[in-house]
Amino acid sequence: MLDVWNGLAAAFWLVVRLDPDLIEITLRSLQVTLTALVIASLIALPLAALLAVRRFRWRRAVIAVLNALMGLPPVVVGLVVYILLSRSGPFGVFGLLFTPTAMIIAQVIIIVPLIASIAHQSLRELWTDYHDLLISLNVTQRQKMQTLLWDARRALLTAALAGFGRAIGEVGAIMIVGGNIDHVTRVLTTAIALETGRGDFALALGLGFVLIALAVTVNLVIHGLGRTEREGRW
Amino acid sequence: MSALLPLTVTGAEARRRGKTLVGPVDLTMDGPGTTVVIGPNGSGKTTLLSLLHGTARLSRGTITWNCPLEQARAAQAFVFQRPVMLRRNVRDNIAYPLQLRGTRRPEARAQADQWAERIGLGDMLDRSAGALSGGEQQKLALARALILKPELLFLDEPCAALDGRSMREIETILANAKAEGTKLVLATHDMGQARRMADDVLFLLHGRVHEARPAPEFFAGPDTAEARAFLKGDIVE
Ligand SMILES: Nc1ncnc2c1ncn2[C@@H]1O[C@H](COP(=O)(O)OP(=O)(O)OP(=O)(O)O)[C@@H](O)[C@H]1O
Ligand SMILES: [Mg+2]
């Protein structure tokens, strides 16, 4: 119990003092995860729309693989990305290992299947609703996808939030490919792991509370945006 | 003016899982009069209309327009028995087909406002389409079809959920569309409406055209016993 209170106190002081290290780590967490989220959404949402409207030979297989990949163990993703980016790997020449870019790559791989699967569910449902009308109106494949993505945007926001939640709290993969280097690749989750290992539970807990607060805030802000828009339009 | 018609259908059949839903159907359709399609539930009205429109798969036979298929498809609109509401407000629902064809958004919305006004949805423009009543949704679907000024308009029981007054208003709008050169193909269960609107009648039974005649002759006295029974309101076997 004492640890929890110490943790709260530590977190409180870290925030109140605007601890430069804490701010740096938090901003890096946000930067890595939000970048990964944007990239992953740009890949996953059109993919989900395509899977919803287009019948091609491997559609079912792709969907099954996506669903399976949702449960991909992050540590394994980290390992694979590590091997690919390491000096002797195929992408070694770019020197990306132990940079925030490597962490972004790992997170994108982890959340694309998650976002695509959730998005596909709701787009599929919408497509059954819209099918007759859109076919009758002779829409092109592209217009079909645009219509679905636009009209399902609130459900897609939820999909993106799920991706954000998974990415911001992820530690296994980014620890491996980022290396948790102070002032370079240290983020909230890897810092927590480090402080826990060192036995500094108070600081670890403090960082943990900041992480939770961050996740909740981002969720609230995005939901808030969605709501304002809904009231404006509907 | 119609480049679309005549339409020639020969031996058209719609089959699903080895069962024939509609057909074989042979018919020709030429403008400009309104063709009313009647028949008992499950006789194939909806299926026949979507076959002609090109949204149901043709299993056998041919459907030929007087112009290339692509052009023919673009000149048609369809109002479904169960209206499809986009998850948008009324204005954007009605404007949607125009926007698909490249009309700029302000222009499309302005036209949508006019159509909504004409069809009696003028004070609901900003409401979510999903929150409209069944009858209001049917009106919306009709406005969304008419906004394209189609040469040929398929209507699958467009007034099923409308009260008497709305029905008369819609019929006036349809009569105007017809006067402007739109060919109407209307499936209905309302014999009053069939009599008011029809120039030609197609009576369907068990997926086939059982009787096809000009409306005055048909309503004066159908040739077949089944059609006579149907008109009287008896059960048709
Ligand atoms: N996709 C489908 N698969 C199997 N059977 C179908 C399908 N669509 C329609 N049917 C069947 O085909 C028959 C004709 O249906 P259709 O909807 O054309 O009838 P309808 O004349 O429009 O009836 P209603 O007056 O009830 O609207 C019905 O028996 C229906 O159950
Ligand atoms: Mg029907």
CATH of the domain at B201: 3.40.50.300
A218 band by pLDDT with thresholds 50, 70 and 90 = confident
Residues paired with B213 in a beta bridge = B201
Instruction: Spell out the alpha helix ranges (H) of chain B.
Output: 45-53, 69-74, 90-100, 105-119, 134-146, 164-179, 191-197, 215-220, 225-232
Same domain, B200 and B101: no
Residues B99 and B204 in one domain: no
Smallest CA-to-CA distance from B40 within B221, B222, B206, B212 is with B206
Q: Å from A129 to nearest chain B CA?
A: 7
B84/A133 touch (CB, cutoff 8 Å), yes or no: yes
Query: What domains are defined for chain A?
Result: 2-226 (1.10.3720.10)
Residue at B188: amino acid letter: T
Count structural domains, chain B: 2
**CA–CA dist A169, A163 (Å, integer):** 10
| Residue A1 pLDDT | 62
Cβ of A19 under 8 Å from any chain B Cβ? no
Q: Which of A201-215, B97-111, B157-171 has the highest average model confidence (pLDDT)?
A: B97-111
Residue B171 lies in a domain: yes
> Is B217 part of any domain?
yes
Both B64 and B96 in a single domain? Answer: no
Q: Same domain, yes or no, for B93 and B75?
A: no
Provide the ipTM.
0.89
Token pair recorded at residue B201 = 């009648």
Where in the sequence is the domain holding B55, given as residue range(s)?
7-85+150-232
Q: What is the Cα–Cα distance from A170 to A179, expressed in whole angstroms?
A: 14
Q: pLDDT over 90 for what percent of chain B? A: 53
User: What is the rounded distance in angstroms from the CA atom of residue A23 to the CA atom of residue A186?
Assistant: 12
Q: How confident is the model at residue A7 (pLDDT cuts 50, 70, 90)?
A: confident
Given this model, what pLDDT does residue A230 score? 54
Q: How far is the CA of B187 from the centre of ligand 2 (A)?
A: 8
Last residue of a domain, one of B131, B165, B188: B131
Look at A1-15, A138-152, B66-80, B113-127 and tell me which has the smallest mean pLDDT: A1-15
* Residue B139 counted as domain residue: no
If you measure CA to CA, which chain A residue comes closest to B79? A133
- In this structure, are residues A202 and A218 in contact, taking their beta carbons and an 8 Å threshold? no
Taking CA–CA distances from B83, the nearest residue in chain A reads: A133
CA dist list (Å): A51 to A47, A80, A120, B86: 6, 26, 7, 20
b/e map A196-216, b = 16+ CB within 10 Å:
eeeeebbbbbbbbbbbeebbe
Q: Is B141 exposed, middle or buried (0-12, 13-18, 19+ CB in 10 A)?
A: buried
Residue B67 included in any domain: yes
Residue with CA closest to ligand 1 atom 18: B44
Given a cut of 80, whether residue A68 has pLDDT beyond it is yes
User: Does B28 share its domain with B116?
Assistant: no
CA distance B146 to chain A (A): 12
- The DSSP 8-state label assigned to residue B80 in this structure reads -
Indicate if the pLDDT at residue B170 is higher than 90.
no
Residue A109 has pLDDT above 50, yes or no: yes
Q: Where is the domain boundary, B71, B101, B131?
A: B131
pLDDT at res. A229: 56
Q: What mean pLDDT is predicted for residues A177-198?
A: 92
How far apart are the C-alpha atoms of A114 and A210, rounded to whole Å? 25
Q: Tell me, yes or no, whether B57 and B100 share the same domain.
A: no
pLDDT at B60 over 80: yes
Check whether residue B81 and residue B109 sit in a common domain.
no
Domain shared by B95 and B204, yes or no: no
The answer on pLDDT for A234 being more than 70 is no
Bridge partner list, B8: B28, B64
- The pLDDT tens digits for A72-96 are 899 999 999 999 999 998 998 898 9
Query: Is B37 inside a domain boundary?
Result: yes
Same domain, B13 and B77: yes
What is the C-alpha separation between B81 and B94, in angstroms, rounded? 17
* Model confidence pLDDT, tens digit, residues A30-66: 999 999 999 999 999 999 999 999 888 888 898 899 9
CA B80 to ligand 2 center in whole angstroms: 9
- Which pLDDT score is estimated for B106? 93
Q: How far apart are CA A233 and CA A149, in angstroms?
A: 16
DSSP for chain A? -HHHHHHHHHHHHHHHTT-HHHHHHHHHHHHHHHHHHHHHHHHHHHHHHHHHH---TTHHHHHHHHHHHTT--HHHHHHHHHHHHSTTSTTGGG--TTSHHHHHHHHHHHHHHHHHHHHHHHHHHHHHHHHHHHHHTT--HHHHHHHHHHHTHHHHHHHHHHHHHHHHT--HHHHHHHTT-TTTT--HHHHHHHHHHHT-HHHHHHHHHHHHHHHHHHHHHHHHHHHHHHHHH-
Q: Which of A39-43, A219-223, B44-48, B174-178 has the lowest mean pLDDT?
A: A219-223
Residue A168 has pLDDT above 60, yes or no: yes
Q: State which of B131, B165, B194 marks the end of a domain.
A: B131
User: Quick one: B31 and B92 in the same domain?
Assistant: no
What is the pLDDT, as a whole number, of residue A210? Answer: 87
Instruction: Supply B217's token pair.
Output: 């002759």
Same domain, B116 and B174: no
Task: Assess if residue B2 is contained within a domain.
Answer: no
- Burial label, A165 (beta-carbon count in 10 A; 0-12, 13-18, 19+): middle
- Give the pair of three-digit tokens for residue A78: 């980290």
**CA A230, CA A224: separation in Å to the nearest integer?**
10
Q: Do A233 and B55 touch (CB under 8 A)?
A: no
* Chain B residues near any Cβ of chain A (below 8 Å): 53, 55, 73-74, 77-78, 80, 84, 86-89, 96-97, 100, 126-128
User: How confident is the model at residue A200, as a pLDDT?
Assistant: 82
Is residue B51 included in any domain, yes or no? yes
What is the band of A228 on the pLDDT scale with cuts at 50, 70, 90? low
A102's tokens: 């490597």
The answer to whether residue A137 neighbours chain B at the CB level (below 8 Å) is yes
Using DSSP, state whether B48 is helix, strand or coil: helix
Mean pLDDT (chain B, rounded): 90
Whether B136 maps to a domain, the answer reads no
Q: What is the pLDDT of residue A163?
A: 94
**Inter-chain CB proximity B100 and A234 less than 8 Å:** no
> Residues B113, B182: one domain?
no
- Judged against a pLDDT cut of 80, whether residue B1 lies above it is answered with no
Ligand 1 pocket, B21 CB below 6 A? Answer: yes
Q: What is the dihedral of CA A117, A119, A123, A126, to 10 degrees?
A: 120
pLDDT confidence tier of residue A6, bands split at 50, 70 and 90: confident
> Which atom in ligand 1 lies closest to the alpha carbon of residue B44?
18
The overall average pLDDT reported for chain A is 89
Query: What pLDDT does residue A233 have?
Result: 45
Which tokens is B196 given?
A: 């008011």
- CA of B82: how far to CAs of A113, B30, B43, B137, B237, in Å? 35, 27, 17, 9, 26
Confidence (pLDDT) at B128: 93
CA angle in degrees (0–180, nearest 5) for A22-A184-A19: 15
